[in-house]
Amino acid sequence: MNIKAAIIDHEMASLSEREIFACSQEQKEALYRRVSEHPEIMGGVLLNTCNRTELYLSMKDGVKGPDPFVFLCDSLDAEAEQFQPIVKKASGDEVLSHLCALTSGAASQLLGDSQIITQVSDALADAQDRDATDSSLNTVFRLGITAGKKVRTDMNLQIKDTSTVDLAIHAIEDAPTVKSVLVIGNGTIGRLAAERLAKMGYSVTMTLRQYHNKEAIIPAGVSIVPYPERYRQMEVSDAVISTTASPHVVVTKTEFEQLTHRPGLLIDMAVPRDIDPEISGMPGVTCLNIDELSGGTLEALNQEQKEQLNEYIDTYVSELHRWEEQKKRKEADIARLTSPERDRSERRYFPLFIDSMDRLAIVIGGGNIAERRIMTLAEFGFRIRVVSGTLSETLQRLVNAGLVEWQQGYVAADERDVVCEERRYIDLAEAAEGAWMLLACTNDRETNRTIGQFGRENHILINVCDARNESTFWFPAVGLSDELTMGLVGTGKDHMNVKKAAASLREVIEKKTYK
C-alpha cells in the first residue's frame, strides 16, 4: 500500500488559514480531474469540512508520487511553502491510524463529534462516484469507518455536546431574547438546525435559492424566504445561523450596517466564513464562528481512553496488514498464472466438493487400499458396492451393518486371465453397472489399467489406485470436524509428505486451533 495524506485541521491551522483550503465545487472538480490524469496516482479522496481539509492519494507501488499537500496547494493556487507549518502529513499505517481516530471522534475539534463519521463516509462515496478510488483507498477508508463505529459503540468519548449543531442551538438557548431565527443555507447542517429549532418552538425561516426550489427539502414548521431577501428577513429576526457552501461572504458588513433592526446573535458555521468577520466588532452584536463554538481535542481523553483507543487502532492496522498480504499473494498468483512459461498441466485436478448423497460408488478390490477408501466414502452418504473375492474383517462389518453391498467375485483384465476355475469371475461391464464413481483398487496392474480404460470410455469418474495418469480424479486425504471438510492431494511425487500434511491439518480442524 502506497498511500499518503495531507491533513489541515483545527489543531494547527486557524480559521482564516482553513478558509484558504476550503474547496469550492469547481475546485473539487478540478482537483479530481488532476487525480485521474496523473500517471503515478491510482486514486484520491478529498475530505472537506468546516474544521478540516484532507487529501488522500494512493500511488502506484514502488513510486514516490506527488506530495499530497503540494498537489492540494497547486489545485487551489496556494503557495505550498508558505503553509507548510500548518500541515500534518501521514503515510502507510499512519493514514489508517489517523482515520480511526478521526471517525471515532477523538481527533475532532469537538470531542466525540457525531457528524464526522458521516462526513468521512460521504467523502469516500463522492470519490467512488467519480471512479477516483482504488482498492487500497477503499480498504483503508472501510477499515477506518468500521473502527470509528466500533469505538463509538464500545467507548464513551462524548464530553457534553456531540455536534456543532448542538452547540449552535445551545448558543440560541443561552440568549433569552431570541424568539425568531433565520437560517441561511439549505444544506444538511442548515436543515438539521432549522428542524431542531422549530421543534423547540422557535419561529424559524430558511433561505432558499430559486434554482434549488424543486429539489429543496424544507423541515416541518419552517418558513422559507428567497435567498436575495435574506437582509429583509434579518430585520424581523433575533438571530441568524449561516451554513452555506459559498466561497464568499453572504452577509457583508456594509449591508448589515444598513439594517434598521439588527439581529443580536450571528452564528457562522461555514468555512470559508459566510459572515463578514468585521461585523463581530459592532456594538450590540454577538458573532460566533465555528472555532468559537467548538471545543475538545484528543488531549481531553484520559489515559485509559487513550490506551483503549490505541488498542482499537492497532487491531484495524493489523487487519490492514492481512489485507496487504492477501493482495500480494493475489498479485503473485496473477503473475504466475499469466506467465508464458507456466505449464498449465501442472495442476489439473480441481478440488471439487459435490453432493454425494446416494450416488453409487463401486470399488473393485477388497484389500487395504479399498478398505481405506471405502471407510472415507462411507462418511459422505455414498451407496457403496465392493466387488472382490474376499473381504477384510473391517469391510465385512460394514457389509453386516448395511453400509456396503458386497458383490463377490473377481474382475479379470481379459478372458485369458481367468486361470483359476475355483474363482468366480465377473464381467467388468456387469461389475460396474450403474456406477457414478469407479475405484480400481486391485493388486494387479493390468486389471487396474483395464478398469481405468473402461471408466474413461464410459464417462464414469474413475480413480486407479496405482496410476494417477489413468484416473479422471484423485482420491484425497480427508479431514473432518463438525464444521469443516478438508480434502488434500499432492503431486504424486511424495506420498509421505501428503500424509504428514494431512495429519497436521486434521489436528488443526479437529481441535479447532484456527479459532
Which residues does the annotation mark as catalytic? 50
pLDDT of residue 166: 84
Q: Is residue 119 domain-resident?
A: yes
Residues 12 and 127 placed together within one structural domain of the fold:
yes
| pLDDT score recorded for residue 298 | 43
346 contacts: CB under 8 Å, gap ≥ 6:
none
CA 315 vs. chain centroid, Å, equals 15
Burial of residue 281 (CB within 10 Å: 0-12, 13-18, 19+) is exposed
Same domain for 368 and 402?
A: yes
pLDDT tens, N- to C-terminus, the chain (515 residues):
899 999 999 888 888 899 999 998 999 999 999 999 999 999 999 999 888 999 999 999 889 999 999 999 999 999 999 999 999 999 999 999 999 999 988 887 766 677 889 999 999 999 999 999 999 999 999 999 999 988 888 776 554 445 788 889 999 999 999 999 999 998 888 999 999 999 999 999 999 886 555 567 889 999 999 999 999 999 999 999 999 888 889 999 999 999 999 999 999 988 888 999 999 889 999 999 888 877 544 456 777 878 888 898 999 999 999 999 998 988 888 888 788 888 777 666 678 889 999 999 999 999 999 999 999 999 999 999 999 999 988 999 999 999 999 999 999 776 555 555 567 889 999 999 999 999 999 999 999 999 999 999 999 999 999 998 899 998 998 988 888 899 898 877 777 888 899 899 988 888 888 87
The whole-angstrom separation of Cα 156 and Cα 111 is: 10
Pairing of strands 203-208, 223-226: parallel
Same domain, 36 and 66: yes
Give residue 433's domain range: 360-475
Structural domain ending residue among the three candidates 291, 317, 334 = 291
Nearest-angstrom CA–CA distance, 443 and 411: 11
For residues 124 and 102, what is the distance between their CA atoms, to the nearest angstrom? Answer: 14
Which amino acid does the sequence have at 466? D
Spatial distance between the Cα atoms of 361 and 435, rounded to a whole number of angstroms: 6
Separation of alpha carbons 456 and 463, rounded Å: 10
| 120 and 99 Cβ atoms separated by less than 8 Å | yes
Is the domain of 175 the same as that of 130?
A: no
> Cα(452)–Cα(461) distance, rounded to whole angstroms?
9
**Region for residue 459 given its phi and psi (left: phi exceeds 0; alpha: psi -120 to 50; beta: otherwise):** left
Q: How far apart are CA 60 and CA 2, in angstroms?
A: 7
Model pTM above 0.85: no
Whether 334 maps to a domain, the answer reads no
Tell whether 376 and 509 lie within a shared domain: no
For residue 45, the model assigns a pLDDT of: 97
Residues 221 and 319 in one domain: no
Which residues on neighbouring strands pair with residue 48, listed in sequence order? 53
**What single letter denotes the amino acid at residue 152?**
R
Query: Residue 131 and residue 125: Cα distance in Å, rounded?
Result: 10
- In whole angstroms, give the CA distance from residue 21 to residue 263: 30
Q: Which residues are within 8 A (CB) of 271 and not within 5 positions of it... i.e. 6 or more apart?
A: 15, 18, 19, 22, 49, 50, 51, 290
**246 and 371 share one domain:** no
Q: Tell me if 139 is assigned to some domain.
A: yes
Is 505:487 a contact under the CB 8 Å cutoff? no
Task: For residue 488, report the phi and psi dihedrals to the nearest 5 degrees.
Answer: -135, 130
Q: Is residue 371 part of a domain?
A: yes
Q: Are residues 172 and 217 in the same domain?
A: yes
Residue type (1 letter), 158:
Q
Cα angle, residue 494 at apex, residues 491 and 499 outer, rounded to 5°: 100
* Cα 357 from Cα 57, distance rounded (Å): 53
**pLDDT at residue 419, rounded to an integer:** 53
Bridge-partner residues for 478, per DSSP? 487
Task: Give me the residues paired with residue 206 across strands.
Answer: 183, 224
The amino acid sitting at 93 is D
DSSP, residue by residue, 297-320: -GGGS-HHHHHHHHHHHHHHHHHH
- In a domain, residue 133? The reply is yes
d(CA 354, CA 357): 9
DSSP 8-class letter at 282: S
Q: What is the CATH number of the domain that holds 58?
A: 3.30.460.30
Q: Indicate whether 133 and 170 sit together in one domain.
A: no
355, part of any domain: no
CB contact at 8 A, 438 and 460? yes
Domain with residue 215: its CATH number is 3.40.50.720
What integer pLDDT is reported at residue 160 of this predicted model?
46
Alpha-carbon gap, residue 244 to 202, rounded angstroms: 21
Backbone angles phi, psi at 398, to 5 degrees: -70, -35
The SS3 assignment for 33 reads helix
386 located within any domain: yes
CA 365/CA 82 separation, integer angstroms: 86
User: Over the stretch 104-158, which tens digit does the pLDDT of each residue have?
Assistant: 888 877 666 778 899 999 999 999 999 999 999 999 999 999 999 888 887 765 5
Helix, strand and coil content of the chain, in percent to the nearest 5, comes to 45, 15, 40
SS3 53: strand
Q: Same structural domain for residues 114 and 214?
A: no
Domains in the chain: how many in total? 4
> Of the candidates 169, 141, 151, 55, which has an alpha carbon nearest to the alpha carbon of residue 111?
151
Co-location of 110 and 202 in the same domain: no
Spatial strand order in the sheet of 203-208 = 223-226, 203-208, 180-184, 239-242, 265-268, 286-288
Based on the domain organization, do 204 and 124 belong to the same domain? no
User: Rounded to whole angstroms, how far apart are CA atoms 12 and 85?
Assistant: 8
CB 111 within 8 A of CB 302: no
User: In degrees to the nearest 10, what's the CA dihedral of 38, 41, 42, 48?
Assistant: -100
Q: Can you tell me whether residue 341 is helix, strand or coil?
A: coil
Q: Does residue 452 sit in helix, strand or coil? A: helix
Q: Domain for residue 350, yes or no?
A: no
